[in-house]
Chain A
């Protein structure tokens, strides 16, 4: 049962990702990305990470992609012209991507401390996740939140500077 679901949603995920690249319309690409995000959420759920699955849907599919579609609508971006891309991209791009993926995969496979998750494992409850986040992984967790805070402050600073100079257009 788990395996069938895995193949279905992995298929959705890959199809969405390929469609994202092939579509010439920004909105269609954004929608394919939403399909990828939600299928990923289902894959997380199959691995027993229910909180992560919900967070994936709420944050990525629900908030970030809404912002992306909002921007596409605001700019009224139309259909893009199809080009063949530069030769450098073809020659360097694909090998580079393959190498990076291979490196990441070997590193992850060789890390022993990370543990293994199997399809159909028991569900990790949100309480356990919270306990780990606020005890063993407290420092990385807080550092990440500081990072996000800095990003927010940067965005506010940029927005304020733009507002001071460009009000004449209103």
Chain B
């Protein structure tokens, strides 16, 4: 394969994945509004299109057409850069996620993954840790007290919970003996649901820690303190309007999907079927290739459902409770999990 073919394939894959990802982001917003509506005993959006299905597209058009206000007191370069960093990190992260089995046609590289890197998990952690700059710089450059408080909270929160997030993945890495996401999934694929890391790998505790840390990392309720409306009006994005606000919005929902993908890969067996070999693989080649994608999407959807369910159920934490919880419970628990897993692997 020449370098030009490689570049062509990569551009093609990036285009397809980005389009699907952005559509998924738009419809996650709709899913959230619908689900929250039903949890709160109302309908959610119903007017635009059947069941409100065109709502995300109309909302997108609305953000494009709104007046873009830049307050006079802002530090302009960073004010403009911050949403780009946020959305850039969210969009880049998906590039290391494998969506399905390694399939290639006509000498192409692996079709269902943009780039198969050896250090997939570390790339994910690195990009998550860079994502905080979007929030922090947005809050600081806005020159507003609400934004600054939001940014401070967010930085402290991300530093604290990234520790727990990283430590919760260590058990999985130790079991798989690799940092490559594709190999981690392969290692869980032997007997369906029984060999998934969450059950067969005895990583249930790690999974719970991962979920809680991930909620904090993505600024989602009940840990959405950086944008607590009742205290900080809008938190770090108070001073943003129009498309720049929409970019923060996109990065939040994009990160939700990313976190769901990573949880699926690390703990829920990735694209493998929960029934293992009980269902014989379909004979049709196309269905055979798309079956893993179906399982992957289903798992990520369940994760998103959980996210929204939690948002509709739990109230927001107080800030000191939140910090205590992270440092005093999650981090030690994650370390215990590492010790336990290594003992189990050794004997």
Q: What is the minimal beta-carbon distance from B85 to any residue of chain A, in angstroms?
A: 10
Q: Which of A119-135 contact B (CB under 8 A)?
A: 123, 125-127
Stretch at the interface among B9-17, B58-66, B120-128, B294-302: B120-128
Instruction: Among A61, A74, A126, point to the contact of B118 (Cβ < 8 A).
Output: A126
CB of B156 closer than 8 Å to a CB of A: yes
**Does B129 lie within 8 Å of A63, measured CB to CB?**
yes
Interface residues on A, range: 20 to 34
Which of the residues B75, B156, B159, B179 comes within 8 Å of A63, measured between beta carbons? Answer: B159
What is the 8 Å Cβ interface bit string for chain B, positions 139-157, against chain A (1 contact, 0 not)? 1100000001001100110
Chain B interface bracket (under 10, 10 to 19, 20 to 34, 35 or more): 20 to 34
* B122 with A51: CB separation less than 8 A: yes
Known interface pairs A51-B119, A63-B162, A73-B152. Does A58 touch B136 (Cβ–Cβ under 8 Å)?
no
Query: Which of A64-72, A86-94, A110-118, A159-167 has 4 or more CB atoms under 8 Å from chain B?
Result: A64-72
B residues less than 8 Å from A57 (CB atoms): 126, 129-130
A47, CB-defined interface residue at 8 Å: no
Say whether B281 faces chain A, with CB atoms less than 8 Å apart: no
Is A62 close to B, CB under 8 A? Answer: yes
**A31–B140 alpha-carbon span in the complex (Å):** 13
- Which residues of A67-84 are within 8 A (CB) of B? 67, 69-70, 73-74
From 30 to 48 in chain A, residues with beta carbon under 8 angstroms from any chain B beta carbon are: 31, 34
Q: Is B266 positioned at the interface, with any CB of A under 8 Å from its CB? A: no
A139 touches B (CB below 8 Å): no
B133–A67 CB distance below 8 A: no
Q: Specify which of A51, A66, A123, A127 is in contact with B158 (CB 8 Å cutoff).
A: A66
Bound state CA distance, A54 and B128, in angstroms?
A: 12
Which chain B residue shows the least CB distance to A65?
A: B133
In the complex, which residues of chain A have a beta carbon less than 8 angstroms from the beta carbon of B75? 27
Q: A27-B140, A66-B129 are in contact. Are A58 and B122 (CB under 8 A)?
A: yes
- Determine whether the beta carbon of A54 is less than 8 Å from that of B119: yes
A54 touches B122 (CB 8 A): yes
Q: Whose C-beta in chain B lies nearest to the C-beta of A70?
A: B155
A96 within 8 Å of B by Cβ?
Answer: no
* B78/A70 in contact, CB under 8 A: no
Cβ distance B342 to chain A, nearest Cβ, rounded Å: 13
The complex places the Cα of A66 from the Cα of B162 at a distance, in Å, of 12
A73 to B145, CA, bound (A): 11
In the complex, B177 has a CB within 8 A of chain A: yes
Q: Say yes or no for B90: interface residue by CB 8 A criterion.
A: no
Which residues of chain B have C-beta atoms less than 8 A from A63's C-beta?
Answer: 129, 159, 162
